[in-house]
Amino acid sequence: MARIAHLLLTRFNVPHPRYARDKRGAATGTPEWLAHRFELFERFCLPSVRGQRGAEFEWLVFFDEATPEPFRSRIEAYRAEPRFRPAFATHFDELPERVRAAVPADAEYLITSRLDNDDALARDALSAVRGAFREQALEFVNLATGYILTRGVIYRARLSRNPFLSLIERRSAGPWRTVWGLAHDRAHEIGPVIDLEERPYWLQVVHERNLTNAWGDRWDHALQPWRNRVRDALTRARLLRPREGRIERTGLTLADLRGEFELGH
């Protein structure tokens, strides 16, 4: 049986010039910014990873080497989580090589999966990724369906290009690329992509301190149904390319998703 290693990858606050400020222009890495990020991490990301069922994986979470107390103490407390492996770095460029170094030497295949520190996965998300394994030399797995939480409203989304991406690769095909080896929206340019869309696999949390995510700005609640109809009409008239996704408002609350995503309170 093939030896498979599965690594879930999360970048927490490792410095990168592109992310020195959030989407509103406020500085990142400040104590206030860190406090907000840790709160989101503990409410959404951490419990959802703890709740994963039917998947064998290790979770590499990368922090800034200069992370101050008391946040260091919080990180140390997370070590009690059986899959949690904290790592510290000084720059974003270090991360791909650090990931490659963490791959077991006897691994024939590697699966790497992305997860932002303020988002969450459904309980069966990583087992679904593993279920797509077919001894591929190089293939991406896109969790196409999920939820977006913005301004207290939950949308159901089907997106063919999104951050909830995994890469399956074989050692004999060349050096490990890892899912961090490219921008997630360029996967289709590198290799084949499998879309898993049977049910919602993720929850993307859009908030005022996001680094780049602007869904909350682009999808106004009242205008969304109208925009969907207009874009569908333009697509049928061949004035737009076929759509790569759809977002629809639901009547759900976080309480409705708590069991499926093992969310904290």
Report the pLDDT averaged over residues 18-40: 78
**Given phi > 0 = left and psi -120 to 50 = alpha, else beta, which region is 263?**
beta
In the DSSP assignment, the letter for residue 106 is T
Q: What pLDDT, on the 0 to 100 scale, is given for residue 239?
A: 41
Q: Token digits for 254? A: 């976080």
CA distance 22 to 135: 39
**Helices (H) then strands (E): counts for the chain:** 9, 12
Distance of CA 129 to the CA centre of its chain: 13
Secondary element (H or E) of residue 121:
strand 120-121
Q: What is the rounded end-to-end Cα distance, in angstroms, of the chain?
A: 41
Sign of CA dihedral 25, 28, 34, 37: positive
Q: What is the pTM of this model?
A: 0.85
Q: What is the CA radius of gyration of the chain?
A: 19
Instruction: Give the tokens for residue 132.
Output: 């797509």
How confident is the model at residue 181, as a pLDDT? 84
Confidence (pLDDT) at 23: 53
Give per-residue pLDDT as tens, 208-238. Answer: 544 444 444 444 444 455 455 555 554 454 4
Neighbouring residues of 215: CB distance < 8 A, sequence distance ≥ 6: 148, 150, 204, 206, 247
* pLDDT at residue 2 in the model: 84
pLDDT for 36 beyond 80: yes
What pLDDT is recorded for position 44?
97
* Residue-range domain boundaries for the chain: 4-261
pLDDT in tens, 46-79: 999 999 999 999 999 999 999 999 999 999 999 9
Q: What is the Cα 235 distance to its own chain's centre? A: 29
- Better pLDDT: 213 or 193: 193
H/E stretch holding 11 reads strand 4-11
Going by the DSSP 8-state scheme, the letter that residue 148 receives in this structure is E
The third-level CATH classification (topology) of the domain covering 4-261 is Spore Coat Polysaccharide Biosynthesis Protein SpsA; Chain A (3.90.550)
Contact (Cβ atoms closer than 8 angstroms) between residue 14 and residue 63 = yes
Residue 70, preceding peptide bond in cis (omega within 30° of 0): yes
**Lowest mean pLDDT, pick from 24-38, 122-136, 174-188, 210-224:** 210-224
Q: Which residue has the tokens 């070590």?
A: 79
CB 166 within 8 A of CB 129: yes
Query: Is the dihedral angle over the CA atoms 230, 236, 239, 242 positive or is it negative?
Result: positive
